[in-house]
Amino acid sequence: MDFENEKVKILVIDDADIIRSSLKKFLQEYDLDVITCSDGLEGLQKAIEHKPKLIFLDLLMPNLDGIRLLRVMKVMEELKYIPTIVISGHTDKINVLAAMEAGAERIISKPFTKEILVKNINEVLGNNFLSSTKKFANLTSLEKEQMSKELRRYFVNSLASKQETIRQSVINKNIELLKLIVHELKGSSGTVGFSQISESCKEIEKILLSSDNSWTEVEDKCSQLIENLHNAELTIPK
């Protein structure tokens, strides 16, 4: 690839809006061309179309999950050599082994920091890659703070629909939908600094994964999560 005439392409596949947005903002600081999508099937199409230099991939997604997508890509001649960094809130031993066996280069837990992203990208692409591509290195503290505020506002503006999804999931005892929304919130809330929401989601996931879980306990924890989401909304001026 001619780095002087064409930007390096990075593909981000994640069903969480805030994760896609935060990764895109971060990577664009390095003058990279960032393509994003929200599910595995679309991600496969984007990978074939754009042939990115690196893929960021969530594990738990609708239509085609991260593990299955990795397995598909690794048997396709045009995609199998593209390195993939998995980003997930489910990084227990089983998921880590499954992702590595499917072909992931690295596994990063949500929420992640910029320092962790830089370290893993440089290790995967080599030669201190980001130092050679960085264009907007000298962001001021004020600019960084403004970017952080924009991400928090973006996250908070999406919470009304997420609260309703949680309520309906509890009413209908839709465990799979509840797992998806809690998984998304766990990673995205931690990324923008709402640690209490992230911890609530971890508690709900733990209950849902337990063999002796109580639906009453799930309802109680979801009520607390909804309250935390409402409190987060109040932190952003209308």
Q: Is residue 144 part of a domain?
A: no
**What residue type is 149 in one-letter code?**
K
CATH code, domain with 167: 1.20.120.160
43 or 183, higher pLDDT:
43
Q: Which residues, including other chains, have CB under 8 Å from residue 214's CB and lie 6 or more apart?
A: 207
Question: Do residues 17 and 93 share a domain?
Answer: yes
User: Is the distance from CB of 238 to CB of 156 less than 8 angstroms?
Assistant: no
Task: Give the pLDDT confidence score for residue 173 in this predicted structure.
Answer: 92
Q: What is the pLDDT of residue 221?
A: 93
Structural domain for 172, as ranges? 153-233
C-alpha–C-alpha distance, residues 34 and 47, integer Å: 12
Q: Find the range with the poorest average confidence among 99-103, 166-170, 204-208, 233-237.
A: 233-237
| One domain for residues 68 and 126 | yes
Other CB atoms within 10 A of residue 143 CB: 12
**Residue 35 confidence (pLDDT) above 80:** yes
Residue 127, token pair as written in the block: 């030669």
Span 40-55, pLDDT tens digits: 899 999 999 999 999 9
Within this chain, do residues 176 and 119 fall inside the same structural domain, yes or no?
A: no
Q: Does the residue 101 lie in any domain?
A: yes
Distances (CA, A) of 173 to 185, 197, 199, 219, 228: 19, 21, 22, 10, 21
pLDDT of residue 187: 78
Convert the pLDDT of each residue in 63-105 to its tens digit: 788 889 999 999 999 999 999 999 887 666 777 888 888 989 9
Q: Please give the pLDDT value at position 71.
A: 92
Mean pLDDT of the 26-43 span: 90
d(CA 131, CA 38): 29
| Nearest Cα residue to 1 out of 76, 69, 54 | 54
Is residue 3, in this structure, part of any structural domain at all?
A: no
Q: Which residues contact 41 (CB under 8 A, 6 or more apart)?
A: 63, 64
- pLDDT given at position 48: 94
Q: For residue 148, tell me if it sits in a domain.
A: no
Distance, first Cα to last Cα, the chain:
46
Number of structural domains found in the chain: 2
Q: 20, 12 in Cβ contact below 8 A?
A: yes
Whether 238 is in a domain gets the answer no
Domain co-membership, 22 together with 127: yes
78 is a domain residue: yes
104 shares a domain with 26: yes
Residue with the two structure tokens 């880590």: 96
Does residue 126 sit in the same domain as residue 159?
A: no
Same domain, 112 and 194: no
116 contacts 108 by C-beta, under 8 angstroms: yes
What digits encode the pLDDT tens for the residues 217-230?
999 999 999 999 99
Decide if pLDDT at 3 tops 50.
Answer: no
Q: Are residues 191 and 227 in the same domain?
A: yes
Same domain as 184, residue 107: no
Handedness of CA 111, 80, 126, 38 (dihedral sign): negative
Per-residue pLDDT at 148 exceeds 80: no
What is the domain-level CATH number for residue 132?
A: 3.40.50.2300
Residues 121, 184: one domain?
no
Same-domain status, 126 and 165: no
Q: Taking the model in full, what pTM does it have?
A: 0.69
Q: How confident is the model at residue 140 (pLDDT cuts 50, 70, 90)?
A: low
Indicate whether 68 and 100 sit together in one domain: yes
